[in-house]
Amino acid sequence: MMKYATIKVNGLDVFYRESGDRQKPTFVLLHGFPTASHMFRHLMPMLEEDFHVIAPDLIGFGQSAAPVHTAFDYTFDQLTDYVDGFLCALKIERFYLYVFDYGAPIGFNLAVRDPQRILGIVS
């Protein structure tokens, strides 16, 4: 069953989709440009039998907060901070990553910052 929610990360709303059992390994899906977690609406049900699946909308995309560019530094490092904060807020310690396009540098930044958190990467 797909769940839709929003959580505050460093004062900004991060929208996400979630499905599957939280007792199973987590699979984090990071979207590309100019999409959002909506692109995973058909993939998530296929993965949820074996994984706890999370797909956030990056800051500036989808239903997440989109601060004006003069008030927010839209860099991959900054977006990584928000994805990391999002995962910490949901108490997700170890996970698989699906990355491509815009989500790839964010996912790879997460992996470089703390390689022990990463169970595997699909690119």
State how beta strands 118-122 and 95-98 pair.
parallel
- The CATH topology of domain 3-122 is Rossmann fold (3.40.50)
pLDDT value of residue 123: 94
Helix axes 76-89 and 103-113, enclosed angle (nearest 10): 70
Q: What is the mean pLDDT of residues 61-75?
A: 96
Q: Give the global pTM.
A: 0.96
Instruction: Give how far Cα 5 sits from Cα of 32, 111, 122, Å.
Output: 20, 25, 25
Task: State pLDDT tens for residues 19-43.
Answer: 999 999 999 999 999 999 999 999 9
Domain boundaries, given as residue ranges, for the chain: 3-122
Task: State pLDDT tens for residues 112-123.
Answer: 999 999 999 999
Token pair for 40 = 């995973």
